[in-house]
Amino acid sequence: MSRSGTLVVIGGPTASGKTLVAAHLAKHYATEVISADSRQFYGALRIGTARPHADELLGVTHHFLGHLPVEETWSAGAFARAAEPALQRIIRERGIAVLVGGSGLYIDALLKGLDPMPGPDPRLRAELRAELEADGLAPLLAHLLAADPDTYSRIDRHNPHRVLRALEIVLSTGRPVGEQHTAPADRTDMRIIRVLLDLPRAALYARIDTRVERMMADGLLEEVRRSLPYRSYNALRTVGYTELFDHLDGKLTLDEAVALIKQHTRNYAKRQLTWSRREPSWVPLPPVPEQVILHVESTH
């Protein structure tokens, strides 16, 4: 199959500067950005998902930012099906597109496709959810660690939906989730350039701490308070919301909740880097737009 254009993928851990680099790159090439960050899909959630403001997007068109209601859950497959027409149009009109995100599974869904996974098992799902409600997440995590340590190390362990789904797959098939992937190759209809934004661990953690403090100053606690009626939805079972829900429930002081948000965000960043290491074609570069543009120019 002939290649009709170029897709530049900007990846990296949370707080590494992906949005700024992607926007500069898209502006340089007069093209558009597709966001593959599942946390930023939800329109009612701005502060806790670090969704960029309009002035941070440099006037560049971004797709899939704040387009979903909190009641809706998007799988990686649903994202890929929705993103494909936009990607094809951008490539056809501009010759180059930018894909940005920290959600590795969503990036892979668009670049590689996804293996079919077993469908929901309502009986098993009900049993696992009942266990979650009765005993909390810890026993389910221990079960997943014993049954599938690789998946345990990669998923967001603070997201009950992800934990339940992983356990459902393992228990219904008798095999680890990883064994059910065929490691498909990249799509061949366009050239793919992967850039992984890389900076020293101490600098990344400092950025994470600064971002959390800025989100709190911007009113994250009030956003979480307004979101209390929707706390059961998957969109709100994520870092930043769960800790502050616990604070509002009287389980944590505010200082304890903020410290946990920072810690859990660092843990999430580690998992994002672990996911990226599975794909050797990522090229690590500092989060400096000019250097990324030079790299793309040298390979494009």
Do 170 and 31 share a structural domain? Answer: no
Question: What's the pTM?
Answer: 0.81
For the chain, the domain total comes to 2
Do 214 and 250 share a structural domain? Answer: yes
Residue 174 forms part of a structural domain: yes
| Domain endpoint, select from 180, 213, 229 | 180
Q: Where is average pLDDT lowest: 7-11, 270-274, 283-287?
A: 270-274
Residue, of 171 and 16, whose pLDDT is higher: 16
Do 11 and 103 share a structural domain? Answer: yes
Residue 203 forms part of a structural domain: yes
- Domain span at 268: 6-115+190-299
- To the nearest whole percent, how much of the chain has pLDDT over 90? 62
Do 218 and 133 share a structural domain? Answer: no
Do 143 and 15 share a structural domain? Answer: no
Per-state percent for the chain, helix, strand, coil, to nearest 5: 55, 10, 35
- 183-220 pLDDT per residue, tens: 578 999 999 999 999 999 999 999 999 999 999 999 99
- 95-143 pLDDT per residue, tens: 999 999 988 889 999 999 865 566 667 888 888 889 988 988 899 999 8
Distance from chain centroid for Cα 211: 17
Stated length of the chain: 300
Given this model, what pLDDT does residue 118 score?
Answer: 65
Mean pLDDT of 244-255: 98
Residue 1 forms part of a structural domain: no
Give the Cα separation of 75 and 168 in Å (integer). 16
Given this model, what pLDDT does residue 1 score?
Answer: 36
Do 229 and 89 share a structural domain? Answer: yes
If pLDDT is split at 50, 70 and 90, which confidence band does 2 have? very low
Q: 160-173 and 138-147 are packed helices; what angle lies between their axes, rounded to 10 degrees? A: 40
Residue 36 forms part of a structural domain: yes
Residue, of 28 and 44, whose pLDDT is higher: 28
- 140-186 pLDDT per residue, tens: 999 888 888 888 887 888 888 888 888 888 888 887 776 665 557 89
Do 12 and 109 share a structural domain? Answer: yes
Given this model, what pLDDT does residue 115 score?
Answer: 59
Please list, in sequence order, all residues whose beta carbon lies within 8 angstroms of the beta carbon of residue 32, skipping any fewer than 6 positions away: 26, 60, 61, 62, 63, 86, 90, 94, 97, 98
Give the Cα separation of 92 and 85 in Å (integer). 11
Do 142 and 278 share a structural domain? Answer: no
| Domain endpoint, select from 180, 210, 228 | 180
Sign of CA dihedral 222, 223, 228, 234: negative
Mean pLDDT of the chain: 91
